[in-house]
Structure 1
Amino acid sequence: MTVELHHFRRDDAPGLRQLLLDLYTDVYVGDPVGDTAAFGERLDRWCTSPTWECVIGYDGQEAVGYAFGSPLPPDTDWWTRTAPHLSLDWIAETGSRTFTLAELGVRKPWRKTGVARRMHHELLAPRTEARAVLRVLTSRTCLVEHYESWGYAHVPPAPAEGVRKVCAMVLALPIKA
């Protein structure tokens, strides 16, 4: 199995929309958090960013996974929705400070083959931002552990915060190979 990685940008997004929807549906088949309609809405919002980038892995002609995101714009509410307790120094965005890994998914037959890590690294390696961030369901402990093994750290939680359903994780850029 040789998976080739292909880069795409915002101008490519309209032609990729159905493929990404199909991939998402297959990645989350049978998973209660998989909501293709909600994903389509998120995808449409992300794709409007002029700096949106995507990596899709192909095994021959078959798409096996995807990773995409874009830098947080200066007027973002990402931090206030994710971790409103953080200081203004932490959450101040310039449009070139933080890259958000919005989505990463791999179809079942290609999981545990290193494809996710390769797509992740391929997407982030050329980034010039200081950090990358993502959100992950805390109940997905395997995913949290994978992200930790790739160098991500948990964003500091609020001192009195109870059990969180979603946590933010941050990775210093540039990534180390």
Structure 2
Amino acid sequence: MTERTVRLRKHISYASQVREVLGKMYEQVRADLLHHPNYKLDVFLERLDRHAGEAGWAVVVAHDTTTGEPVGYAYGNTVASGDRWWKRMSTPPPGRYAGRDAVAVKEIGVIPEWRGVGVSRQMHDELLAGRLEPHATLMVNPSAGEGKVMRLYEGWGYEEIGVVQPSPDAPWLVCMARNIHP
């Protein structure tokens, strides 16, 4: 069997080509959830457009080294200490995260045929590489992959710091955080 490898491209500017590539991958990544109001393509694109206009936005796109086709993406941006990201949590974040900027990993997606080979971790690490913020944070549906996704993030050093419902149509999510710099 041929080893599957990716080439990572980091973008810090938002262009229509990036939007189109992410939209097409999102449809594959979330195919089983597109019927849910929070996961519809137009809702994702609206969130993406909003996030891309926020401070510190960046996206990493993974491309199959053999075909050049995009197979995954991870994007995020800076969230300041007073950002609504923190204010929507059911309880205030623990003291070591409170009052400090963080990188919010807003979305990580890998197309089904590329899952389980480490692409998510590679994109995540590249997204955080060189960031000045002391912490990274993300939200995860605790039932995603029957809990496997949350356990994966725990293996990357994230810890649960609260719960949040980002919008009325969204499920309750677990907010997780970790240090970026040792």
Return the TM-score normalized by structure 2: 0.82
Aligned to 1:109: 113
Aligned to 2:7: 4
Given the superposition, is the C-alpha separation of residues 74 and 63 from structure 1 closer, same or farther in structure 2, using an over 3 Å criterion? same
Aligned to 2:131: 127
Conservation of the 8 A alpha-carbon contact between 2:162 and 2:174: no
Aligned length: 166
Question: Partners of 1:150 and 1:87 in 2: how far apart?
Answer: 19
Offset of residue 156 of structure 1: 4.7
Question: Partners of 1:143 and 1:17 in 2: how far apart?
Answer: 25
Question: Partners of 1:50 and 1:165 in 2: how far apart?
Answer: 25
Given the superposition, is the C-alpha separation of residues 90 and 39 from structure 1 closer, same or farther in structure 2, using an over 3 Å criterion? same
Given the superposition, is the C-alpha separation of residues 58 and 98 from structure 1 closer, same or farther in structure 2, using an over 3 Å criterion? same
Offset of residue 88 of structure 1: 7.7
Q: Which runs of 5+ in 2 are unaligned?
A: 165-170
- CA offsets per residue over residues 20-69 of structure 1, 9 Å max, x none? 11111110112355321110111000111242111000003200000000
Offset of residue 167 of structure 1: 0.8
Q: 1:78 aligns with which of 73, 77, 85?
A: 85
Q: 2:43 aligned with 1:35, yes or no?
A: no
1:50-69, aligned counterparts within 5 Å?
Answer: 50-59=55-64, 60-69=67-76
- CA offsets per residue over residues 119-163 of structure 1, 9 Å max, x none? 0111112212110000011212111000001110010569xxxxx
1:134-149, aligned counterparts within 5 Å?
Answer: 134-140=138-144, 141-149=147-155
Conservation of the 8 A alpha-carbon contact between 1:125 and 1:174: no
Conservation of the 8 A alpha-carbon contact between 2:134 and 2:181: yes
> Identity rate of aligned residues, in percent?
31
Bigger CA drift: 28-37 or 45-54?
A: 28-37
Question: Partners of 2:93 and 2:117 in 1: how far apart?
Answer: 36
SS, match of residue 155 in structure 1: strand
Return the TM-score normalized by structure 1: 0.84
Offset of residue 82 of structure 1: 2.5
Which amino acid is the alignment partner of residue 68 of structure 1?
Y
Question: Partners of 1:50 and 1:80 in 2: how far apart?
Answer: 18
Q: Which runs of 5+ in 1 are unaligned?
A: 159-163
Question: Partners of 1:45 and 1:157 in 2: how far apart?
Answer: 22
Q: 2:159 aligned with 1:153, yes or no?
A: yes
Aligned to 1:46: 51
Which amino acid is the alignment partner of residue 58 of structure 1?
H
Offset of residue 17 of structure 1: 0.6
